Structure 1
Amino acid sequence: MDQLNSSVVTSNISSPGRPPLASWDPTDLIASVVLSFCFLLGVPGNIAVITLRPNWEHLSDLSQILMLNLAVSDLLCLLTLPLWIYTLLYSWTFGLVTCKLLAYLVYCSLYGSLLTVTVLSVQRYLQVVQLQKWFDRKGKKRMLVLLWLIAMILSIPSLVVRQLTPDQHWTTCQPRFSSPAQRMAVLSESLPGFVSITVVIFSYISLQRKVNQAAFFNNPKTTRLVTSIIVTFFVLWMPYHITNMLGVAAISLHNDSLLMSCMNSLNICKALVFVISFLNPLLYAFASRNMFTRTADDLV
Protein backbone atom coordinates (compact mmCIF):
# COMPACT_ATOMS: atom_id res chain seq x y z
CA MET A 1 0.00 0.00 0.00
CA ASP A 2 0.98 3.65 -0.01
CA GLN A 3 3.96 4.14 2.24
CA LEU A 4 3.50 2.93 5.78
CA ASN A 5 5.45 5.95 7.04
CA SER A 6 4.31 9.30 8.26
CA SER A 7 6.15 12.39 9.34
CA VAL A 8 7.52 11.82 12.82
CA VAL A 9 8.78 14.40 15.27
CA THR A 10 12.54 14.06 15.43
CA SER A 11 13.39 16.54 18.12
CA ASN A 12 15.68 15.37 20.95
CA ILE A 13 17.02 12.51 18.83
CA SER A 14 19.61 10.62 20.81
CA SER A 15 21.33 9.24 17.71
CA PRO A 16 20.87 9.78 13.94
CA GLY A 17 17.77 8.01 12.67
CA ARG A 18 16.79 6.65 16.10
CA PRO A 19 14.30 8.89 17.91
CA PRO A 20 13.54 8.22 21.57
CA LEU A 21 10.28 6.53 22.39
CA ALA A 22 8.65 9.80 23.47
CA SER A 23 9.08 11.30 19.99
CA TRP A 24 7.39 8.49 18.09
CA ASP A 25 4.04 9.33 16.54
CA PRO A 26 1.21 7.42 18.31
CA THR A 27 -0.31 6.30 15.01
CA ASP A 28 3.04 4.83 13.97
CA LEU A 29 3.29 2.92 17.26
CA ILE A 30 -0.24 1.55 16.87
CA ALA A 31 0.41 0.58 13.25
CA SER A 32 3.69 -1.11 14.25
CA VAL A 33 1.98 -3.21 16.92
CA VAL A 34 -0.77 -4.28 14.50
CA LEU A 35 1.74 -5.13 11.77
CA SER A 36 3.93 -7.10 14.19
CA PHE A 37 0.87 -9.09 15.25
CA CYS A 38 0.03 -9.79 11.59
CA PHE A 39 3.58 -10.94 10.85
CA LEU A 40 3.91 -13.25 13.85
CA LEU A 41 0.57 -14.97 13.25
CA GLY A 42 0.14 -14.61 9.50
CA VAL A 43 3.44 -16.00 8.26
CA PRO A 44 3.13 -19.37 10.08
CA GLY A 45 -0.56 -19.55 9.17
CA ASN A 46 0.01 -19.09 5.44
CA ILE A 47 3.02 -21.42 5.43
CA ALA A 48 0.83 -24.06 7.11
CA VAL A 49 -1.80 -23.62 4.39
CA ILE A 50 0.80 -23.95 1.60
CA THR A 51 2.47 -27.04 3.09
CA LEU A 52 -0.42 -28.87 4.78
CA ARG A 53 -3.32 -27.93 2.49
CA PRO A 54 -5.85 -28.99 5.15
CA ASN A 55 -8.66 -31.20 3.83
CA TRP A 56 -8.10 -29.99 0.28
CA GLU A 57 -8.68 -33.45 -1.18
CA HIS A 58 -12.40 -32.65 -1.15
CA LEU A 59 -12.02 -29.38 -3.04
CA SER A 60 -12.24 -28.87 -6.77
CA ASP A 61 -9.00 -28.26 -8.67
CA LEU A 62 -9.86 -24.61 -9.24
CA SER A 63 -10.60 -24.07 -5.55
CA GLN A 64 -7.26 -25.62 -4.60
CA ILE A 65 -5.44 -23.38 -7.08
CA LEU A 66 -7.18 -20.27 -5.76
CA MET A 67 -6.59 -21.23 -2.11
CA LEU A 68 -2.90 -21.79 -2.81
CA ASN A 69 -2.62 -18.55 -4.75
CA LEU A 70 -4.29 -16.67 -1.89
CA ALA A 71 -1.86 -18.11 0.65
CA VAL A 72 1.17 -17.30 -1.53
CA SER A 73 0.08 -13.71 -2.18
CA ASP A 74 -0.66 -13.16 1.52
CA LEU A 75 2.68 -14.67 2.52
CA LEU A 76 4.60 -12.43 0.10
CA CYS A 77 2.83 -9.41 1.54
CA LEU A 78 3.50 -10.38 5.16
CA LEU A 79 7.18 -11.10 4.57
CA THR A 80 7.77 -7.40 3.81
CA LEU A 81 6.40 -6.28 7.18
CA PRO A 82 9.66 -6.30 9.20
CA LEU A 83 11.12 -3.63 6.91
CA TRP A 84 7.97 -1.49 7.11
CA ILE A 85 7.85 -1.84 10.90
CA TYR A 86 11.49 -0.82 11.21
CA THR A 87 10.89 2.15 8.93
CA LEU A 88 7.83 3.26 10.89
CA LEU A 89 9.86 3.39 14.11
CA TYR A 90 13.19 4.55 12.75
CA SER A 91 14.03 5.58 9.20
CA TRP A 92 14.31 4.22 5.67
CA THR A 93 17.92 3.16 5.12
CA PHE A 94 17.58 0.71 2.23
CA GLY A 95 17.90 2.96 -0.82
CA LEU A 96 15.54 4.17 -3.54
CA VAL A 97 15.52 0.97 -5.62
CA THR A 98 14.52 -1.14 -2.63
CA CYS A 99 11.91 1.46 -1.72
CA LYS A 100 10.26 1.24 -5.13
CA LEU A 101 10.52 -2.53 -5.53
CA LEU A 102 9.27 -3.29 -2.03
CA ALA A 103 6.29 -0.96 -2.42
CA TYR A 104 5.52 -2.55 -5.80
CA LEU A 105 5.73 -6.05 -4.28
CA VAL A 106 3.34 -5.09 -1.48
CA TYR A 107 0.83 -3.67 -3.95
CA CYS A 108 1.09 -6.72 -6.23
CA SER A 109 0.57 -9.05 -3.28
CA LEU A 110 -2.40 -7.16 -1.89
CA TYR A 111 -4.04 -6.81 -5.29
CA GLY A 112 -3.33 -10.49 -5.96
CA SER A 113 -5.00 -11.41 -2.68
CA LEU A 114 -7.97 -9.11 -3.31
CA LEU A 115 -8.53 -10.43 -6.84
CA THR A 116 -8.13 -14.04 -5.70
CA VAL A 117 -10.77 -13.60 -2.99
CA THR A 118 -13.04 -11.99 -5.60
CA VAL A 119 -12.61 -14.85 -8.07
CA LEU A 120 -12.99 -17.42 -5.29
CA SER A 121 -16.26 -15.91 -4.12
CA VAL A 122 -17.66 -15.78 -7.67
CA GLN A 123 -16.50 -19.33 -8.36
CA ARG A 124 -18.15 -20.65 -5.21
CA TYR A 125 -21.40 -18.92 -6.06
CA LEU A 126 -21.45 -20.12 -9.67
CA GLN A 127 -20.67 -23.71 -8.72
CA VAL A 128 -23.49 -23.80 -6.20
CA VAL A 129 -25.98 -22.08 -8.52
CA GLN A 130 -24.98 -23.56 -11.87
CA LEU A 131 -23.72 -26.94 -10.57
CA GLN A 132 -20.93 -27.17 -13.12
CA LYS A 133 -17.24 -26.57 -13.55
CA TRP A 134 -16.20 -23.49 -15.46
CA PHE A 135 -12.54 -23.97 -16.46
CA ASP A 136 -10.48 -26.72 -18.00
CA ARG A 137 -6.80 -27.09 -17.06
CA LYS A 138 -5.60 -24.49 -19.59
CA GLY A 139 -8.37 -22.11 -18.60
CA LYS A 140 -7.32 -22.27 -14.95
CA LYS A 141 -3.73 -21.38 -15.81
CA ARG A 142 -4.81 -18.52 -18.05
CA MET A 143 -7.13 -17.20 -15.36
CA LEU A 144 -4.28 -17.23 -12.83
CA VAL A 145 -1.90 -15.49 -15.24
CA LEU A 146 -4.54 -12.86 -16.03
CA LEU A 147 -5.17 -12.31 -12.32
CA TRP A 148 -1.51 -11.56 -11.61
CA LEU A 149 -1.15 -9.49 -14.76
CA ILE A 150 -4.01 -7.25 -13.59
CA ALA A 151 -2.43 -7.03 -10.13
CA MET A 152 0.91 -5.99 -11.67
CA ILE A 153 -0.71 -3.34 -13.86
CA LEU A 154 -2.71 -1.88 -10.97
CA SER A 155 0.50 -1.69 -8.91
CA ILE A 156 2.48 0.39 -11.43
CA PRO A 157 1.51 3.81 -9.94
CA SER A 158 3.18 2.88 -6.64
CA LEU A 159 6.39 2.12 -8.52
CA VAL A 160 6.32 5.46 -10.34
CA VAL A 161 5.51 7.86 -7.49
CA ARG A 162 7.53 6.25 -4.70
CA GLN A 163 10.50 8.41 -3.68
CA LEU A 164 12.84 8.94 -0.72
CA THR A 165 12.01 12.04 1.32
CA PRO A 166 14.71 13.21 3.76
CA ASP A 167 13.76 15.25 6.82
CA GLN A 168 16.67 16.09 9.12
CA HIS A 169 17.83 12.68 10.44
CA TRP A 170 14.73 10.96 9.11
CA THR A 171 14.16 9.48 5.64
CA THR A 172 10.84 8.10 4.44
CA CYS A 173 9.92 5.93 1.48
CA GLN A 174 6.65 7.48 0.41
CA PRO A 175 4.75 8.73 -2.64
CA ARG A 176 5.82 12.08 -4.02
CA PHE A 177 3.35 13.64 -6.42
CA SER A 178 4.23 16.08 -9.18
CA SER A 179 0.74 17.60 -9.26
CA PRO A 180 -2.69 17.39 -7.56
CA ALA A 181 -3.94 15.55 -10.64
CA GLN A 182 -1.32 12.83 -10.19
CA ARG A 183 -2.19 12.51 -6.50
CA MET A 184 -5.86 12.19 -7.40
CA ALA A 185 -5.09 9.53 -10.02
CA VAL A 186 -3.08 7.44 -7.53
CA LEU A 187 -5.70 7.73 -4.79
CA SER A 188 -8.32 6.63 -7.31
CA GLU A 189 -6.77 3.14 -7.11
CA SER A 190 -9.58 2.47 -4.65
CA LEU A 191 -12.13 2.22 -7.47
CA PRO A 192 -11.11 -1.36 -8.42
CA GLY A 193 -11.14 -2.18 -4.72
CA PHE A 194 -14.71 -0.94 -4.37
CA VAL A 195 -15.73 -3.12 -7.31
CA SER A 196 -14.04 -6.20 -5.84
CA ILE A 197 -15.58 -5.68 -2.41
CA THR A 198 -19.03 -5.26 -3.96
CA VAL A 199 -18.62 -8.47 -5.98
CA VAL A 200 -17.44 -10.44 -2.93
CA ILE A 201 -20.31 -9.23 -0.75
CA PHE A 202 -22.92 -9.87 -3.45
CA SER A 203 -21.54 -13.35 -4.18
CA TYR A 204 -21.51 -14.49 -0.58
CA ILE A 205 -24.90 -13.03 0.28
CA SER A 206 -26.38 -14.74 -2.79
CA LEU A 207 -24.51 -17.93 -1.93
CA GLN A 208 -25.88 -17.95 1.60
CA ARG A 209 -29.42 -17.47 0.34
CA LYS A 210 -28.97 -20.30 -2.15
CA VAL A 211 -27.45 -22.90 0.16
CA ASN A 212 -29.85 -22.09 2.99
CA GLN A 213 -32.69 -23.27 0.74
CA ALA A 214 -31.33 -26.78 1.21
CA ALA A 215 -31.86 -28.46 4.55
CA PHE A 216 -28.36 -29.95 4.31
CA PHE A 217 -26.78 -26.50 4.52
CA ASN A 218 -29.38 -24.76 6.65
CA ASN A 219 -27.57 -24.44 9.99
CA PRO A 220 -26.26 -21.64 12.22
CA LYS A 221 -22.60 -22.49 11.51
CA THR A 222 -23.09 -21.80 7.81
CA THR A 223 -24.67 -18.43 8.52
CA ARG A 224 -21.93 -17.44 10.98
CA LEU A 225 -19.17 -18.43 8.59
CA VAL A 226 -20.54 -16.54 5.58
CA THR A 227 -21.31 -13.54 7.78
CA SER A 228 -17.77 -13.55 9.20
CA ILE A 229 -16.26 -13.63 5.70
CA ILE A 230 -18.37 -10.70 4.52
CA VAL A 231 -17.99 -8.59 7.65
CA THR A 232 -14.23 -9.17 7.95
CA PHE A 233 -13.60 -8.35 4.31
CA PHE A 234 -15.77 -5.24 4.47
CA VAL A 235 -14.54 -3.87 7.80
CA LEU A 236 -10.83 -4.30 7.06
CA TRP A 237 -10.81 -3.08 3.45
CA MET A 238 -13.37 -0.27 3.47
CA PRO A 239 -11.57 2.22 5.79
CA TYR A 240 -8.63 2.32 3.39
CA HIS A 241 -10.79 2.82 0.31
CA ILE A 242 -13.04 5.36 1.99
CA THR A 243 -10.02 7.35 3.17
CA ASN A 244 -8.57 7.34 -0.34
CA MET A 245 -11.83 8.52 -1.86
CA LEU A 246 -12.13 11.26 0.75
CA GLY A 247 -8.62 12.28 -0.28
CA VAL A 248 -9.78 12.53 -3.89
CA ALA A 249 -12.73 14.65 -2.77
CA ALA A 250 -10.43 16.87 -0.71
CA ILE A 251 -8.20 17.50 -3.73
CA SER A 252 -11.20 18.27 -5.92
CA LEU A 253 -12.61 20.69 -3.34
CA HIS A 254 -9.18 22.16 -2.48
CA ASN A 255 -9.83 21.26 1.16
CA ASP A 256 -6.34 21.04 2.68
CA SER A 257 -7.54 20.22 6.20
CA LEU A 258 -9.58 17.22 4.98
CA LEU A 259 -6.66 16.04 2.85
CA MET A 260 -4.29 16.27 5.83
CA SER A 261 -6.72 14.32 8.00
CA CYS A 262 -6.94 11.59 5.36
CA MET A 263 -3.19 11.33 5.03
CA ASN A 264 -2.72 11.18 8.81
CA SER A 265 -5.22 8.34 9.18
CA LEU A 266 -3.88 6.21 6.32
CA ASN A 267 -1.30 4.38 8.45
CA ILE A 268 -3.99 2.78 10.61
CA CYS A 269 -6.13 2.00 7.56
CA LYS A 270 -3.18 0.33 5.82
CA ALA A 271 -2.37 -1.69 8.92
CA LEU A 272 -5.95 -3.00 8.94
CA VAL A 273 -5.53 -4.17 5.34
CA PHE A 274 -2.54 -6.30 6.39
CA VAL A 275 -4.71 -7.96 9.04
CA ILE A 276 -6.59 -9.64 6.18
CA SER A 277 -3.42 -11.44 5.13
CA PHE A 278 -3.25 -13.37 8.40
CA LEU A 279 -7.03 -13.87 8.72
CA ASN A 280 -7.40 -15.36 5.23
CA PRO A 281 -5.99 -18.79 6.21
CA LEU A 282 -8.54 -19.01 9.03
CA LEU A 283 -11.49 -17.88 6.93
CA TYR A 284 -10.74 -19.59 3.61
CA ALA A 285 -8.38 -22.50 4.20
CA PHE A 286 -9.36 -23.89 7.59
CA ALA A 287 -12.87 -22.82 8.58
CA SER A 288 -14.70 -22.52 5.26
CA ARG A 289 -13.85 -26.09 4.21
CA ASN A 290 -16.44 -27.33 6.70
CA MET A 291 -19.15 -25.53 4.77
CA PHE A 292 -18.04 -25.93 1.19
CA THR A 293 -16.81 -29.56 1.02
CA ARG A 294 -20.08 -31.35 1.71
CA THR A 295 -21.62 -31.82 -1.68
CA ALA A 296 -20.95 -34.55 -4.17
CA ASP A 297 -19.87 -32.05 -6.81
CA ASP A 298 -17.13 -30.40 -4.67
CA LEU A 299 -19.09 -27.19 -4.33
CA VAL A 300 -16.71 -24.69 -2.74
Structure 2
Amino acid sequence: MSKTGIIFDIKRYSIHDGPGTRTTVHLKGCPLACWWCHNPESQSVAPVVLFRGEKCIGCGSCVKSCHNGAISVRGGTLVTDDGLCDGCGKCCEVCPPEARELCGRHYTVDELMTQLHKDEIFFRDGGGVTFSGGEPFMQPEFLFEALDACGRAGYHRTLDTCGFVSKSVITDSVKRADLYLYDVKHMDPEKHKEYTGVDNVVILENLRAISEAGAKINIRVPFMPGLNSGDENMHALGRFVQPLKGITGVNILPYHTVAKGKHDRWHMEYKLSDLLPPTENQTRHAAGILEGYGLKVHIGG
Protein backbone atom coordinates (compact mmCIF):
# COMPACT_ATOMS: atom_id res chain seq x y z
CA MET A 1 0.00 0.00 0.00
CA SER A 2 1.23 3.47 -0.90
CA LYS A 3 2.64 5.41 2.06
CA THR A 4 0.88 8.56 3.22
CA GLY A 5 2.62 11.83 4.01
CA ILE A 6 1.61 15.36 4.95
CA ILE A 7 2.45 18.06 2.41
CA PHE A 8 1.75 21.75 2.87
CA ASP A 9 2.70 23.02 -0.57
CA ILE A 10 3.61 21.82 -4.05
CA LYS A 11 5.43 24.67 -5.76
CA ARG A 12 5.70 24.46 -9.51
CA TYR A 13 8.13 26.27 -11.83
CA SER A 14 10.78 26.72 -9.14
CA ILE A 15 14.20 27.83 -10.38
CA HIS A 16 16.00 28.18 -7.03
CA ASP A 17 15.68 24.67 -5.59
CA GLY A 18 18.12 22.76 -7.77
CA PRO A 19 19.03 22.59 -11.46
CA GLY A 20 16.54 23.52 -14.16
CA THR A 21 12.84 24.14 -13.71
CA ARG A 22 11.59 22.11 -10.77
CA THR A 23 8.57 21.16 -8.76
CA THR A 24 9.26 21.53 -5.05
CA VAL A 25 7.33 19.36 -2.62
CA HIS A 26 7.16 20.89 0.86
CA LEU A 27 6.68 18.28 3.59
CA LYS A 28 5.46 19.29 7.02
CA GLY A 29 7.54 19.03 10.16
CA CYS A 30 10.92 20.40 11.19
CA PRO A 31 13.17 19.63 14.18
CA LEU A 32 14.58 23.17 14.12
CA ALA A 33 12.96 26.46 15.07
CA CYS A 34 15.14 29.01 13.26
CA TRP A 35 14.64 32.63 14.17
CA TRP A 36 14.42 33.50 10.45
CA CYS A 37 12.22 30.56 9.39
CA HIS A 38 10.50 31.28 6.06
CA ASN A 39 7.80 28.65 6.66
CA PRO A 40 6.96 28.77 10.39
CA GLU A 41 3.61 27.13 9.71
CA SER A 42 5.52 24.02 8.58
CA GLN A 43 7.29 23.24 11.85
CA SER A 44 4.67 20.87 13.27
CA VAL A 45 4.19 17.58 11.40
CA ALA A 46 0.42 17.55 11.76
CA PRO A 47 -1.90 19.70 9.63
CA VAL A 48 -2.73 22.97 11.38
CA VAL A 49 -5.41 25.60 10.88
CA LEU A 50 -4.03 29.12 10.58
CA PHE A 51 -6.33 32.00 11.55
CA ARG A 52 -6.26 35.63 10.44
CA GLY A 53 -8.44 37.46 12.91
CA GLU A 54 -8.48 40.69 10.94
CA LYS A 55 -10.37 38.95 8.11
CA CYS A 56 -12.96 37.30 10.38
CA ILE A 57 -16.53 38.64 10.03
CA GLY A 58 -17.84 36.80 13.08
CA CYS A 59 -20.42 34.73 11.19
CA GLY A 60 -19.89 31.65 13.38
CA SER A 61 -19.81 29.19 10.48
CA CYS A 62 -16.57 27.71 11.76
CA VAL A 63 -18.03 27.11 15.23
CA LYS A 64 -20.94 25.14 13.78
CA SER A 65 -18.70 23.12 11.46
CA CYS A 66 -16.28 21.82 14.12
CA HIS A 67 -17.18 18.27 15.14
CA ASN A 68 -14.77 18.42 18.09
CA GLY A 69 -16.04 21.67 19.55
CA ALA A 70 -12.57 23.16 19.26
CA ILE A 71 -13.78 26.62 18.24
CA SER A 72 -15.72 28.86 20.61
CA VAL A 73 -16.52 32.52 21.17
CA ARG A 74 -15.00 34.10 24.26
CA GLY A 75 -15.50 37.75 24.98
CA GLY A 76 -16.60 38.37 21.41
CA THR A 77 -13.48 36.72 20.00
CA LEU A 78 -13.14 33.36 18.25
CA VAL A 79 -10.79 31.05 20.12
CA THR A 80 -9.47 27.68 18.95
CA ASP A 81 -8.44 25.00 21.42
CA ASP A 82 -5.38 23.43 19.78
CA GLY A 83 -5.79 20.37 21.98
CA LEU A 84 -9.20 19.63 20.45
CA CYS A 85 -8.47 20.66 16.86
CA ASP A 86 -7.57 17.66 14.67
CA GLY A 87 -6.70 19.73 11.60
CA CYS A 88 -9.54 18.34 9.47
CA GLY A 89 -9.99 21.69 7.73
CA LYS A 90 -13.79 21.76 7.72
CA CYS A 91 -13.80 25.20 9.31
CA CYS A 92 -11.63 26.48 6.46
CA GLU A 93 -14.05 25.15 3.86
CA VAL A 94 -17.02 27.04 5.33
CA CYS A 95 -15.28 30.35 6.12
CA PRO A 96 -16.69 33.01 3.70
CA PRO A 97 -13.82 35.54 4.01
CA GLU A 98 -11.15 32.80 4.03
CA ALA A 99 -9.88 33.87 7.43
CA ARG A 100 -8.97 30.26 8.19
CA GLU A 101 -6.43 28.32 6.13
CA LEU A 102 -5.45 24.66 6.42
CA CYS A 103 -1.70 24.10 6.30
CA GLY A 104 -1.00 20.46 5.49
CA ARG A 105 -2.83 17.82 3.52
CA HIS A 106 -2.50 14.05 3.45
CA TYR A 107 -1.17 12.57 0.20
CA THR A 108 -0.38 9.03 -0.79
CA VAL A 109 2.73 8.58 -2.92
CA ASP A 110 0.47 7.68 -5.84
CA GLU A 111 -1.48 10.93 -5.41
CA LEU A 112 1.74 12.91 -5.24
CA MET A 113 3.10 11.25 -8.38
CA THR A 114 -0.11 12.15 -10.22
CA GLN A 115 0.66 15.79 -9.46
CA LEU A 116 4.33 15.48 -10.41
CA HIS A 117 3.61 13.76 -13.72
CA LYS A 118 1.84 16.95 -14.83
CA ASP A 119 5.23 18.70 -14.89
CA GLU A 120 7.15 15.92 -16.64
CA ILE A 121 7.96 18.12 -19.63
CA PHE A 122 10.17 20.27 -17.39
CA PHE A 123 11.86 17.28 -15.79
CA ARG A 124 12.90 15.99 -19.22
CA ASP A 125 14.63 19.28 -19.97
CA GLY A 126 17.11 19.46 -17.10
CA GLY A 127 14.68 20.00 -14.23
CA GLY A 128 13.31 17.64 -11.63
CA VAL A 129 11.69 17.26 -8.24
CA THR A 130 12.96 18.80 -5.01
CA PHE A 131 11.77 17.58 -1.62
CA SER A 132 11.90 20.36 0.95
CA GLY A 133 10.01 21.38 4.06
CA GLY A 134 9.93 21.98 6.83
CA GLU A 135 12.42 19.16 6.85
CA PRO A 136 11.67 16.26 4.47
CA PHE A 137 13.43 13.70 6.69
CA MET A 138 10.74 14.23 9.35
CA GLN A 139 8.65 11.83 7.22
CA PRO A 140 11.30 9.32 6.12
CA GLU A 141 9.13 6.39 5.02
CA PHE A 142 6.94 8.57 2.80
CA LEU A 143 9.99 10.45 1.54
CA PHE A 144 11.88 7.30 0.56
CA GLU A 145 8.91 5.78 -1.26
CA ALA A 146 8.37 9.07 -3.12
CA LEU A 147 12.06 9.27 -4.04
CA ASP A 148 11.98 5.70 -5.32
CA ALA A 149 8.88 6.47 -7.41
CA CYS A 150 10.58 9.54 -8.88
CA GLY A 151 13.62 7.42 -9.65
CA ARG A 152 11.54 4.88 -11.51
CA ALA A 153 10.02 7.74 -13.50
CA GLY A 154 13.49 9.01 -14.38
CA TYR A 155 13.09 12.32 -12.54
CA HIS A 156 16.12 14.15 -11.11
CA ARG A 157 15.78 14.13 -7.30
CA THR A 158 17.05 16.85 -4.96
CA LEU A 159 16.80 16.86 -1.18
CA ASP A 160 16.74 20.23 0.61
CA THR A 161 17.70 19.43 4.21
CA CYS A 162 18.95 20.91 7.45
CA GLY A 163 20.78 17.63 8.12
CA PHE A 164 19.37 17.10 11.61
CA VAL A 165 18.40 13.46 11.19
CA SER A 166 19.78 10.09 12.21
CA LYS A 167 22.95 9.13 10.33
CA SER A 168 21.49 5.80 9.21
CA VAL A 169 18.50 7.50 7.59
CA ILE A 170 20.42 10.19 5.75
CA THR A 171 23.11 7.83 4.49
CA ASP A 172 20.39 5.45 3.27
CA SER A 173 19.01 8.33 1.22
CA VAL A 174 22.22 8.81 -0.79
CA LYS A 175 21.32 6.04 -3.25
CA ARG A 176 17.96 7.76 -3.80
CA ALA A 177 19.07 11.38 -4.27
CA ASP A 178 20.91 13.02 -7.15
CA LEU A 179 21.71 16.22 -5.24
CA TYR A 180 21.52 17.63 -1.72
CA LEU A 181 20.88 21.26 -0.86
CA TYR A 182 22.46 21.18 2.58
CA ASP A 183 21.95 24.03 5.03
CA VAL A 184 24.83 25.09 7.24
CA LYS A 185 23.48 27.83 9.45
CA HIS A 186 26.36 28.35 11.88
CA MET A 187 29.66 26.63 12.66
CA ASP A 188 29.59 27.38 16.39
CA PRO A 189 27.45 24.75 18.16
CA GLU A 190 26.28 27.08 20.93
CA LYS A 191 25.32 29.85 18.54
CA HIS A 192 23.61 27.28 16.33
CA LYS A 193 21.56 26.10 19.29
CA GLU A 194 20.66 29.65 20.27
CA TYR A 195 19.38 30.53 16.79
CA THR A 196 17.76 27.21 15.80
CA GLY A 197 17.01 25.28 18.99
CA VAL A 198 19.57 22.51 18.33
CA ASP A 199 23.36 22.39 18.10
CA ASN A 200 25.18 21.50 14.88
CA VAL A 201 27.08 18.36 15.90
CA VAL A 202 24.76 15.89 14.17
CA ILE A 203 24.37 18.21 11.19
CA LEU A 204 28.10 18.44 10.51
CA GLU A 205 28.65 14.73 11.14
CA ASN A 206 25.92 13.91 8.62
CA LEU A 207 27.38 16.30 6.06
CA ARG A 208 30.69 14.48 6.29
CA ALA A 209 28.92 11.09 6.18
CA ILE A 210 26.97 11.71 2.96
CA SER A 211 30.09 13.21 1.39
CA GLU A 212 31.96 10.01 2.12
CA ALA A 213 29.02 7.99 0.78
CA GLY A 214 29.32 9.66 -2.62
CA ALA A 215 26.62 12.34 -2.50
CA LYS A 216 26.65 15.48 -4.60
CA ILE A 217 26.13 18.42 -2.25
CA ASN A 218 25.44 22.10 -2.62
CA ILE A 219 26.02 23.97 0.65
CA ARG A 220 23.51 26.70 1.44
CA VAL A 221 24.24 29.39 4.00
CA PRO A 222 21.44 31.69 5.18
CA PHE A 223 23.41 34.89 5.69
CA MET A 224 22.28 37.11 8.58
CA PRO A 225 24.31 40.19 9.53
CA GLY A 226 25.53 39.97 13.09
CA LEU A 227 24.36 36.38 13.56
CA ASN A 228 26.54 34.25 11.29
CA SER A 229 28.17 36.80 9.01
CA GLY A 230 31.46 37.19 10.88
CA ASP A 231 34.83 36.33 9.37
CA GLU A 232 35.48 33.67 12.03
CA ASN A 233 32.35 31.77 11.07
CA MET A 234 33.09 32.00 7.34
CA HIS A 235 36.65 30.75 7.83
CA ALA A 236 35.37 27.87 9.99
CA LEU A 237 32.91 26.93 7.26
CA GLY A 238 35.61 27.08 4.60
CA ARG A 239 37.97 24.88 6.60
CA PHE A 240 35.25 22.30 7.21
CA VAL A 241 33.90 22.11 3.67
CA GLN A 242 37.19 22.35 1.74
CA PRO A 243 38.29 18.69 2.18
CA LEU A 244 34.83 17.20 1.60
CA LYS A 245 34.13 15.25 -1.57
CA GLY A 246 31.18 15.91 -3.84
CA ILE A 247 30.75 19.61 -3.06
CA THR A 248 29.27 21.31 -6.13
CA GLY A 249 29.36 24.80 -4.65
CA VAL A 250 28.24 27.10 -1.84
CA ASN A 251 25.23 29.39 -2.05
CA ILE A 252 25.15 32.43 0.24
CA LEU A 253 21.50 33.32 0.77
CA PRO A 254 21.24 36.94 1.97
CA TYR A 255 18.68 37.53 4.70
CA HIS A 256 15.49 39.29 3.64
CA THR A 257 12.34 40.35 5.47
CA VAL A 258 9.79 38.13 3.71
CA ALA A 259 9.69 35.81 6.72
CA LYS A 260 8.60 38.67 9.00
CA GLY A 261 5.48 39.22 6.94
CA LYS A 262 4.48 35.57 7.27
CA HIS A 263 5.07 35.60 11.05
CA ASP A 264 2.98 38.76 11.35
CA ARG A 265 0.25 37.31 9.18
CA TRP A 266 -0.18 34.30 11.41
CA HIS A 267 0.49 36.17 14.68
CA MET A 268 3.72 34.29 15.39
CA GLU A 269 6.67 35.73 17.28
CA TYR A 270 9.48 37.02 15.06
CA LYS A 271 12.79 37.72 16.80
CA LEU A 272 14.53 39.53 13.95
CA SER A 273 12.14 42.42 13.37
CA ASP A 274 14.98 44.97 13.59
CA LEU A 275 17.47 43.05 11.45
CA LEU A 276 18.33 44.61 8.10
CA PRO A 277 19.43 42.63 5.02
CA PRO A 278 23.19 42.50 4.44
CA THR A 279 24.84 45.03 2.19
CA GLU A 280 26.40 43.93 -1.08
CA ASN A 281 29.84 44.57 0.41
CA GLN A 282 29.12 42.32 3.40
CA THR A 283 27.93 39.50 1.18
CA ARG A 284 30.80 39.78 -1.29
CA HIS A 285 33.30 39.88 1.57
CA ALA A 286 31.94 36.59 2.94
CA ALA A 287 31.99 35.07 -0.54
CA GLY A 288 35.62 36.11 -0.92
CA ILE A 289 36.58 34.30 2.29
CA LEU A 290 34.98 31.06 1.09
CA GLU A 291 36.50 31.40 -2.38
CA GLY A 292 39.87 31.57 -0.65
CA TYR A 293 39.34 27.91 0.28
CA GLY A 294 38.87 26.97 -3.36
CA LEU A 295 35.09 26.81 -3.14
CA LYS A 296 32.75 27.85 -5.93
CA VAL A 297 30.49 30.48 -4.38
CA HIS A 298 27.23 31.90 -5.69
CA ILE A 299 25.26 34.70 -4.02
CA GLY A 300 21.55 33.95 -3.94
CA GLY A 301 19.53 30.82 -4.68
What's the TM-score bracket when you normalise by the shorter of the two chains? under 0.3
Higher RCO structure, 1 or 2 (CA under 8 Å, sep 6+): 1
With normalisation by structure 1, the TM-score equals 0.23
Provide TM-score, normalisation by structure 2: 0.23
